[in-house]
Structure 1
Amino acid sequence: MPLQFAADVSTAETDYGTVLLDQRSGRYWELNPTGTLVVKALLRGAEEKDAVEALVAEFEIEREQAARDVAALVETLRDSGLVTA
């Protein structure tokens, strides 16, 4: 399901991935390059399965591991209130 950052979330890309700032709580989150790839895909409107395929292609990991990683990241982002979907 496509994602959108909550209105109070700011982002900045770095050499190591993406930093998220939840302005409501003042908490920072750091996404590594794999997390950044997943989030960018989902923000563009891709489905989770498409993000899995992007991970497999870019990082040559097993599809099952990629699926678990994508699901875990999306769950964490939602549980933290950083995204809406």
Structure 2
Amino acid sequence: MVQLKAGLAIVEVEDGRVLLDTRRGVYWHLNLPALTLIEELGRGRPFDDLIRGIAAETGTDEGTVRSDHLALVYELREAKLIEGDL
């Protein structure tokens, strides 16, 4: 299961939500799709179900949605914001 690394939390701020490193006081402004992906995967929602839902909701080709979200997961891992397997 993919989840936030220890010490990270999604918090509400005046203009939306941010990802906060509670240990260092550093935060990242992530767009809504990125935050939603992190939250849904952290709740245990299967990646494939999430992709199918987004494709159906947006009318976008499922392959495009999958490749875009796999790239996002890769970027979040590279930034050491998430851990775990899809």
* TM tier relative to shorter chain: 0.7 to 0.9
Query: For each residue in 1:39-71, what CA deviation from the matched residue of structure 2 results, as whole angstroms up to 9, or x when unmatched?
Result: 222111122212211211332222111101110
Tell me the equivalent position of 2:6: 7
Tell me the equivalent position of 2:30: 31
Aligned length: 84
Tell me the equivalent position of 1:59: 58
Is the alpha carbon distance of 1:77 and 1:14 closer, same or farther for their aligned partners in structure 2, counting shifts above 3 Å?
same
Is the alpha carbon distance of 1:37 and 1:16 closer, same or farther for their aligned partners in structure 2, counting shifts above 3 Å?
farther
Alpha carbons 1:3, 1:83 under 8 Å: kept:
yes
Quote the Cα distance in structure 1 between the aligned partners of 2:18 and 2:48.
Answer: 24
The residue type equivalent to 1:60 in the other structure is G
Higher relative contact order (CA 8 A, sep 6+): 2
Is the alpha carbon distance of 1:50 and 1:13 closer, same or farther for their aligned partners in structure 2, counting shifts above 3 Å?
farther
Q: Gaps spanning 5+ residues in structure 2: where?
A: none
- The alpha carbon displacement at 1:33 in A equals 2.4
% identity of equivalent residues? 32
Alpha carbons 1:9, 1:22 under 8 Å: kept:
yes
TM-score by length of 1: 0.74
Answer yes or no: is 1:20 the counterpart of 2:19. Answer: yes
